Amino acid sequence: MKSFSSHDSIHFDSSRTGNLATASQSVPYHSPYVIDAQRLTRVYRSPAGNTYALRGVTLRVKQGEFLAIMGSSGSGKSTLMSILGCLDTATSGSYYLEGEDIKTKTDDELASIRATRIGFVFQSFNLLPRISVIRNVMLPLLYTACPVRERIPRARAALRAVSIDEKLFDHMSNELSGGQVQRVAIARALVNSPALILADEPTGNLDSETTDQVLSSFESLHRAGRTIVLITHESDVASRADRCVYIKDGCLYDSVAAMHNARKVV
């Protein structure tokens, strides 16, 4: 796989991967943690009873980390991703994103944070099928202050960063293979130079060869200094990250041993 080159970074990466002075224009102070979440809980209430999806999750992720969150179905992974991605709010606990208290934000501010500071990658790729690859990647830039003349260069740089061949840039996205589509979705997630890339089961629909290509893209972005949180139920996917934490029944553990010990106590 092609790694992320300094040439690419000139076009769209300088505010997040080294030049902190640029990033400071929009961020009041530099917490060493992109994610600083303390004792998060999330209770889904319904007439049938309450579901305690998160039971006091504490998680810190430093700038530039590539973290995997691993857990089986129903363990609380997507609930946690929704809170970290500012798509949902915790029932209790605190969440600071780049040093900013998410609890103090209005709905409009949260929408702006999602649009500019978080790049989402989902299991179902959510590309628009009948517009070109490059236009799909440019879409998030329509919701930001990115000058029109910079949109195409940024989208091209993002596509190169995930090793999409230039010949495919003007193809319709429904003409690509599953692995290519997911890499385009990753390019779309990083085109805004987000503080954080959040991926929820991004290889869940892919065979092992295309899974490897997609994970190589994440590894390459990690080497370029990106902060990535990848959620998965597969241990071989999680093993590609440089740190892994484990979630079970809404509790987070640093190791499999810690998770097993907790089960013995209960």
Q: How far apart are CA 168 and CA 189, in angstroms?
A: 18
Nearest CA among 182, 175, 47 for reference residue 126: 182
Under the binding rule (CB under 5 A), the answer on residue 173 touching Mg ion is no
Instruction: Work out how close the CB of 247 gets to Mg ion at its nearest, in angstroms, rounded to a whole number.
Output: 10
* C-alpha neighbours within 13 Å on the C-beta side of residue 35: 27
71 binds, among Mg ion, ligand ADP, none (CB under 5 to 8 A by kind): ligand ADP
Binding mask 61-100 for Mg ion (x = CB under 5 A): ----------------xx----------------------
Q: What is the chain's alpha carbon radius of gyration, rounded to the nearest angstrom?
A: 18
Instruction: Please identify, using beta-carbon distances, which residue of 12 and 122 lies nearer to ligand ADP.
Output: 122
Instruction: Please identify, using beta-carbon distances, which residue of 118 and 164 lies nearer to ligand ADP.
Output: 118
Strands laid side by side in the 118-121 sheet: 118-121, 196-200, 228-232, 66-70, 243-248, 251-253
Total residues at interface with Mg ion (CB under 5 A): 2
Helix (H, G, I), strand (E, B) or coil at 231: strand
**Which residues within the stretch 26-55 sit at the binding site for ligand ADP (CB under 6 A)?**
44, 51, 53
- Per CB under 6 A, the segment of 29-37, 77-85, 114-122, 238-246 that binds ligand ADP is 77-85
Instruction: Please identify, using beta-carbon distances, which residue of 74 and 129 lies nearer to ligand ADP.
Output: 74
Interface with ligand ADP (CB under 6 A), residue from 78, 211, 213, 227: 78
Q: How far apart are CA 116 and CA 225, in angstroms?
A: 18
Do residues 213 and 179 touch, judged by C-beta distance below 8 A? yes
Residues that bind ligand ADP (CB under 6 A): 44, 51, 53, 71, 73-79
